[in-house]
Structure 1
Amino acid sequence: MASMNNLIIPPPTTLGSPWTLSPLRTPSPSLLYTCIASLHRPEGQIHAVAVSKDLVFTGSDSCRIRAWRKPDCTERGCLKAGSGEVLSMLAHGDMLFSSHEDHKIRTWNISASDDFLSRRVSTLPKRRSSFPWFSRANNPNQQHKDCISCMAYYCEDGLLYTGSYDKTVKVWRVSDNRCIDSFVAHDDHVNAVVANQDDGCVFTCSSDGSIKIWRRVYKESYHTLTLTLRFQPSPVNALALSSCSDAGVLYSGSSDGVINFWEKEWMSYRFNHGGFLQGHRFAILCLTSVQRLIFSGSADATIRLWRREEGSCFHECLAVIDGCGGPVKCLAACLEMDKVNVKGYLVYSASLDKSFKVWRVKVLPEEINKAYLDDDNNSEHGSNTNGNRNSNLRIRERELYEMSPVLSPSWVEKRRQSSFSQ
């Protein structure tokens, strides 16, 4: 159990409500968010966050991986690797993969039962053979030479992809813990890797400013480069893949604060550049997606929530969350379910102020958004035709969400104002 020094539930805002209305109201639908948990630990920076079933995992400068219960972040236990700081993590089913300072990967079997259980299954690569010539012949170049910065998992074939600052990507077959392929992917650090579960394509991005698409050769273990997407000179720090029934969209976040996106052609399996999303003032450090929502974390200490319009390349920014105390380094998001119904979204963020926060997000019903837009239009034209209807909807909104319409101040704006006053 987390102590009160480590787990802080934020107090309600003004008027007794914890909910905050996003400052973006027009033309975007209003969105409510609240911080339901905030943790600050003295173990150093959090480098990785992973979500699996009922648990959330955080990896930091220490050699421990801490497990927290969703959504309130009650501490459930920790995994001890004894191999230096945890640099990246990935959760899939009952498996958790973690990379460490010794340039190796640990595989853990995890259980979300009442008594949290964990067991280290394997370490990749395997311990070297007593006969070096035999090891090289069977698994050449199997260990990364620099820190492992990112991981992705392809479910159908049970393949784990790891990207490293040594510019390479390695492919591990989890069933027998073997490295089946290793290739130089970029001219600089590999910062993110994503696997498309629909067709097995693998996307990588790098500090060299490029994004590359790789495909495994049919019935073979090696991979080949199929396409290079180079649309910005800035380093590309993060990738996210949104796969919905109507489209597949690849997003990339770069150091210039811009999010570029590419839409997949279902007939040709190519990705065409669809545009870019602007709003962050500093570098994009992390991206994640849930359905048609995109969450971006930035060095400007804000999290932005974007939504793609169904069947279109049009995106809108639904919210700017500025309650983080420093640059947002890690993000994870998932649906919050109540039995079979979707209640909203849970967003987990780690900042460079050594804090870890949990946000609950709710998008207001569409009719409420339309009422706001109608009210704004009527106000501009001096009409009160729909005044009563809009008033009733606002009352309903307060009843549903106990919302106080408090505009969230921008961390960046306060920072700029303070610099101007000096």
Structure 2
Amino acid sequence: MQLLPRRLCMATGSAAAGEAGDRSSGSKQVAITVSSSSSTVSTSSSAAAAAAVSEASSSTMSLPSLPSLSVAAAGDSCLVSSFAHVNTLLPLSTGTGSAAAVAVADSVHGGLVVARAATVALHDLFTMEATSTSDSADDASAAGSVKCVAHLHGCKTAVTGHQDGRLRLWQVSSRVPGRLRLAAELPTVSDRLRRFPVPSNHVTVRRHHRRLWIEHADAVSGVAASADGRFLFSVSWDKTLKVWALPSLRCLQSLLAHDDAVNAVAVAPDGTVYTGSADRRVRVWEPRPDSDKARRHSRKPAYHLVATLSRHMAAVNAVAVGCGGQVLYSGGNDRCVVVWEREDSASHMVAVGALRGHRKAVLSVACAAGDGGLVVSGSADQTVRAWRRAADGQGYACLAVIDAHGSAVRSVTAALATAQKWHRPGGGDGDEEWRVCSASFDGEVRLWSLRVAAA
């Protein structure tokens, strides 16, 4: 069975198990185009009604005592212009470890990263066609089921986190653009050899078992890169946050970040790092200020804890940063997405409300780049919800509820499809098209086109 985030509540049931075997055509990767009528998609006002029904029928688990930010104004029906299913990538196999993870690689040129245990591939964001694919026969690509994936900004490189505690970097081959090659594994051999002779570099991870502090002792559950491309951050079920330098790939720092497994990490444009854990907390990390100018601009920052955010009633599975770092979204086993807004006078972030509607644990949250205020959440209830932040920041509209997956949704991502405006007949010229991609534990990846009116 593919492992869910640590401390996943029992309400999720067995959504992630036994689903892949129901598809007889899942023995190979296929891209198919189907009409949106083949999936259940609720939009605008109907989505609000679905949210109310699902919330009423949910279990009795306590929810955070926060106001609901989901609004259903009379004009919501004008928000959604079109929502259509574009393409589907079927599971590569029906065995264990087939779960997929997705991330936007390049929203400018239309890139999408899809990672599975056997392959990692770059896809076109508009058609889902693979542009570069790793060698499925490469033993390194199958050394552990993929838990997470991220894109390194400014280059054709992706990084994946695996069940075996390793991170792997993938780059588009300069000689064969259609091939994605394994460029490195973290920690690198040179980094291990350099630190191995020093006894102080070895730490006890459990009784009678020691390893280098630069190594993760459990599955890598989250990975994110800084906007400037200088640092890579990884978190693990071993409770640690590690900071890696780019492009040297050396581990700079390892922090005992939480009291329980760390399930997610996100980085704001200013370099602030957010981690979410099974201990029900979100923690905020920043480089330690230093009066020495040379030290401030060095490539070896000393990250330290600046705030602990505690409003969730159960494990936190996902974090995402939006609005240029001014808003943080965290999803957890309490079935809601808590919305935090930047408030330096209130311990960095303050919880302003929650997005409710999912019937089971929220496993993934993503924000689309730009000022559109689009937030996407995936859940163990097998649905994806698209939310849009009001222009004034007061409330969120649930644009759509996608009930198309046959297993828990473990990864979501979203991006503005083009900078071009789409003209809606009988409407304004300010409508925008977004691409929403979701991946489930049975290995299925679905791509959706969402066209909404500009805020």
- Please give the TM-score of this superposition, normalised by the length of structure 2: 0.71
Q: What is the alpha-carbon distance in structure 2 between the residues aligned to residue 123 and residue 50 of structure 1?
A: 19
| 1:269 Cα deviation from its structure 2 partner | 7.8
Q: What is the alpha-carbon distance in structure 1 between the residues aligned to residue 233 and residue 29 of structure 2?
A: 38
TM-aligned CA distance change 1:318 to 1:145, over 3 Å: same
Q: Deviations over 1:71-109 (max 9, x none)?
A: 211233422434232221111232211122331112222
Counterpart of 1:64, as a letter, is T
Partner of residue 181 from structure 2, selected from 119, 132, 135: 119
Q: What is the alpha-carbon distance in structure 1 between the residues aligned to residue 33 and residue 79 of structure 2?
A: 24
Partner of residue 276 from structure 2, selected from 186, 192, 205: 205
| 1:132 Cα deviation from its structure 2 partner | 3.1
Partner of residue 149 from structure 2, selected from 81, 89, 96: 89
Range moving further from structure 2, 339-348 or 205-214: 339-348
Instruction: Give matches, 1:23-422, under 5 Å.
Output: 23-24=46-47, 26-27=72-73, 28=76, 29-31=78-80, 32-43=82-93, 44-53=97-106, 54-60=110-116, 62-79=117-134, 80=138, 81-82=140-141, 83-92=143-152, 93-94=154-155, 95-110=157-172, 115-127=177-189, 128-129=192-193, 132-134=196-198, 141-156=213-228, 158-198=230-270, 200-218=271-289, 219=296, 221-244=301-324, 248-265=326-343, 270-290=348-368, 291=371, 292-337=373-418, 343-364=432-453
Q: What is the alpha-carbon distance in structure 1 between the residues aligned to residue 195 and residue 387 of structure 2?
A: 54
Answer yes or no: is the 8 Å Cα contact 1:65–1:86 preserved in 2.
Answer: no
Counterpart of 1:91, as a letter, is H
| 1:296 Cα deviation from its structure 2 partner | 0.7
Unaligned runs of 5+ residues in structure 1 are 367-422
Equivalent residue pairs, number: 359
Partner of residue 13 from structure 1, selected from 31, 37, 48: 37
**Alignment partner of 2:197: what SS?**
helix
Answer yes or no: is the 8 Å Cα contact 1:59–1:85 preserved in 2.
Answer: no
Answer yes or no: is the 8 Å Cα contact 2:314–2:334 preserved in 1.
Answer: yes
Counterpart of 2:351, as a letter, is H
Q: What is the alpha-carbon distance in structure 2 between the residues aligned to residue 58 and residue 170 of structure 1?
A: 24
**Alignment partner of 2:120: what SS?**
strand
Answer yes or no: is the 8 Å Cα contact 2:433–2:451 preserved in 1.
Answer: yes
| 1:126 Cα deviation from its structure 2 partner | 1.5
Q: What is the alpha-carbon distance in structure 2 between the residues aligned to residue 154 and residue 269 of structure 1?
A: 22
**Alignment partner of 1:273: what SS?**
strand
Answer yes or no: is the 8 Å Cα contact 1:88–1:151 preserved in 2.
Answer: yes
Answer yes or no: is the 8 Å Cα contact 1:241–1:289 preserved in 2.
Answer: yes
TM-aligned CA distance change 1:112 to 1:361, over 3 Å: farther
Unaligned runs of 5+ residues in structure 2 are 1-26, 49-71, 203-210, 290-295, 423-430
Range moving further from structure 2, 3-12 or 259-268: 3-12
Answer yes or no: is the 8 Å Cα contact 2:132–2:177 preserved in 1.
Answer: no
Q: Deviations over 1:235-293 (max 9, x none)?
A: 1111111124xx81111111111111111136888211111111111110100012311
- In the alignment, what sits opposite 2:64? none
CA root-mean-square deviation: 3.2
| 1:30 Cα deviation from its structure 2 partner | 3.9
Counterpart of 1:110, as a letter, is V
Answer yes or no: is the 8 Å Cα contact 2:150–2:223 preserved in 1.
Answer: yes
Q: What is the alpha-carbon distance in structure 2 between the residues aligned to residue 120 and residue 345 of structure 1?
A: 31
Counterpart of 1:45, as a letter, is S
Counterpart of 1:279, as a letter, is G
Counterpart of 1:150, as a letter, is G
**Alignment partner of 1:175: what SS?**
coil
Answer yes or no: is the 8 Å Cα contact 1:55–1:112 preserved in 2.
Answer: no
Answer yes or no: is the 8 Å Cα contact 2:121–2:133 preserved in 1.
Answer: yes
Answer yes or no: is the 8 Å Cα contact 1:257–1:279 preserved in 2.
Answer: yes
- In the alignment, what sits opposite 2:24? none
**Alignment partner of 2:193: what SS?**
coil
**Alignment partner of 1:325: what SS?**
coil
Q: What is the alpha-carbon distance in structure 1 between the residues aligned to residue 112 and residue 166 of structure 2?
A: 22
Answer yes or no: is the 8 Å Cα contact 2:229–2:246 preserved in 1.
Answer: no
- Please give the TM-score of this superposition, normalised by the length of structure 1: 0.76
Q: What is the alpha-carbon distance in structure 1 between the residues aligned to residue 196 and residue 281 of structure 2?
A: 36
**Alignment partner of 1:133: what SS?**
coil
Counterpart of 1:57, as a letter, is V
| 1:223 Cα deviation from its structure 2 partner | 1.5
Q: What is the alpha-carbon distance in structure 1 between the residues aligned to residue 311 and residue 415 of structure 2?
A: 29
Answer yes or no: is the 8 Å Cα contact 2:319–2:331 preserved in 1.
Answer: yes
- In the alignment, what sits opposite 2:59? none
TM-aligned CA distance change 1:131 to 1:35, over 3 Å: closer
Answer yes or no: is the 8 Å Cα contact 1:24–1:30 preserved in 2.
Answer: no
Q: What is the alpha-carbon distance in structure 1 between the residues aligned to residue 366 and residue 346 of structure 2?
A: 26
TM-aligned CA distance change 1:130 to 1:334, over 3 Å: closer
TM-aligned CA distance change 1:112 to 1:278, over 3 Å: farther
Counterpart of 1:233, as a letter, is M
**Alignment partner of 1:13: what SS?**
helix
Answer yes or no: is the 8 Å Cα contact 2:432–2:453 preserved in 1.
Answer: no
